[in-house]
Structure 1
């Protein structure tokens, strides 16, 4: 169940295959959940993959359709977020307390008690009800995505979406360091996550290069995820939910969280410079050429295998595909 397009299949067919695989994965996890927070986390990852896939075909399906389907998937993910978000908040606090050696140790426990006692945690049945509802909505999402129509053919179906998503991520990178705002860094994180997953989808075009980009974008998104978790800690410490905790203690935790964020953002900047060095049009053109070349190479490989097995071959089609790649390379160089 690899989250990848195949150079040998039509992009449209690959889209539908991946949709079916990711929805089946999410539903299986939700239906067999032994630990709710883990199941929700894994199911939400499948939903995020689907949203990255949808952004890749955004120009091909039209803006109105994209916004409708993206909002539908987003709302499914949000319906599962409550219990998971509280779990992550508590774990981030505990990790910060240990790494920053915050004293007294009871201070972190006091804040965690505020999380556990929040109004959102008062109904123990709510997570199970949310899981059941999300399972049903995923059936509807599958039907909606299966009905999509695409403009263009082959790499053209995803090329403009790749360029658009990458450009948005680059702009978010610049804005994050211009404003030094938590929300801006969160937007950059979402852009990095999208790029990571889109590189995975297209990695078969050139696994060494695009796989390395995917790994770098994943590492960056994890750094920015840790940064976001710390920003949530700071916001929680400033909320009414923690008014019963010593004010000086809350200020101490917030200061340690900001120190940790500065270190994360310094590393993220260096990684971002490397990952987003190429311009959007240049990246789109390169990945498109990689994709066409990979399809041609696979056709030649299949033809040679057929000849060796004594089943004839399909050399005509394979040679035609190689010729078409050559034409596209010459055109892009003009």
Structure 2
């Protein structure tokens, strides 16, 4: 988590610097020769995953108000009074991790974490916080309130998962008999009206002809996802052979999706464990019988989920990194 600290007095600055030694991030004293509060907030809000104001809650509220957009995208915002008595999460308590950050700050300086989210106040399961702890993308943030609202009303909620989940389910959370009966679902292939939590565990293996454009790759990717009812949000990274490391279209395609892109030599790809779809043509061109499946496996440390799919001079395969969801992560 990238963090940035703002302080306004010598006392606040000292506390911010102390916190930053344990929870790293740049520390700025606004005004007093530094940037204005508005300037600092505009830059920090756009560039960081968490903002920590050391000062009064009112100062932080007025500072962040022009920039708040959505619980799905806003950074975590925590306020700590300059004497270190209270740590207050203001924004993105669950999805952004502000509640956890406030607890961590409180543990460092002896503060009281002031957690006001309703599920936490009542000691109930928070589906969005559980999702964040498992690196899941919440596909429909507006549906979080449906799940939380039922729990707060004393009603049970149902879940469906295509992955085994360790531990006993939280109170009020029961298994659904089918995906369409679930209130929330842990899945790579969302369908229906549930709240869908998609783990970002996919690595997309890519093969392509020389000169393939980003637009061609994007079109092929759309077809690939549609054919497998795959949520594209599940993909966290991409991989290919090192012969493609200067392909402008491939680089632009991955950059547009903000995927890290790994390249492997033919020799390294040969070492990938498992069985793969062989191609004599690919072997003649690259020195290895399969690029996309082998690259995905090596980059993921896991196994193939969707084997090689070819079309329009592009091949894709999807491998999944090891994933072990656990109900007890919030215990």
Under TM normalisation by the shorter chain, which class is it?
under 0.3
Q: TM-score, normalised by structure 1?
A: 0.25
Q: TM-score, normalised by structure 2?
A: 0.26
The structure carrying a bigger helix percent of its residues is 1
The structure carrying a bigger strand percent of its residues is 2
With CA pairs under 8 Å and 6+ residues apart, which has the higher RCO, 1 or 2? 1
